[in-house]
C-alpha cells in the first residue's frame, strides 16, 4: 500500500496544500496506508464497474464542492454534474484538489453551513 498511498496522495492533494498544509498530504497518505490492500483493490474494481446514477432524478437543492486542482474529480466533471441536477450550486475552491475537507476545512464547513441555512431540512 505504501507505493499506492504515495502516488494517490501526491496526485490528489494540491501542490499548494502539499507546500503550505503539510498535514493535508500526511493525512491523505496515512488514511490510504491504513487500508486493507485487498479491500482497497476490491473498492477500485467496484468503482471501475460502477453504473452512472440518474442525476436528473435528484429533486432537492444540492451543494457541489470542487477543488480547482482536482485531477481525480476535475472541475469539468463537477460542471457536468451541476448541469444534470436541476437545483445544484457549484462552488469551486481555488488551490485545493480532491481532499476538500482536509485541504480547506474552514471554507468547506462555511459552504455547508450556508447551504443548510438556505435549504433547511
pLDDT at 110: 97
State the 10-residue block means of pLDDT for the chain, 121 residues long: 90 86 86 94 95 95 97 96 97 94 94 96 81
Q: Residue 20's pLDDT is what?
A: 78
State the pTM of this model. 0.86
Domains recognised in the chain with CATH numbers: 2-118 (3.40.50.1820)
> Residue 119's beta-bridge partner residues?
none
Contacts of 24 (CB under 8 A, 6+ apart): 13, 17, 18, 99, 102, 103
Can you give the pLDDT at residue 73?
Answer: 94
Give 39-46's long-range contacts (Cβ < 8 A, gap of 24+).
Answer: 40/1, 40/4
Would you state the pLDDT for residue 98?
A: 94
Amino acid at each position: 500500500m505504501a507505493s499506492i498511498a504515495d502516488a494517490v496522495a501526491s496526485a490528489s492533494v494540491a501542490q499548494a496544500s502539499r507546500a503550505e498544509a503539510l498535514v493535508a498530504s500526511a493525512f491523505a497518505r496515512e488514511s490510504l496506508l491504513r487500508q486493507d490492500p485487498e479491500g482497497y483493490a476490491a473498492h477500485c474494481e467496484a468503482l471501475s464497474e460502477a453504473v452512472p446514477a440518474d442525476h436528473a432524478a435528484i429533486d432537492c437543492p444540492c451543494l457541489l464542492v470542487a477543488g480547482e486542482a482536482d485531477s481525480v474529480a476535475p472541475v469539468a466533471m463537477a460542471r457536468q454534474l451541476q448541469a444534470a441536477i436541476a437545483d445544484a450550486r457549484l462552488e469551486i475552491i481555488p488551490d485545493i484538489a480532491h481532499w476538500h475537507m482536509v485541504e480547506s476545512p474552514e471554507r468547506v464547513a462555511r459552504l455547508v453551513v450556508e447551504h443548510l441555512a438556505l435549504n433547511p431540512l
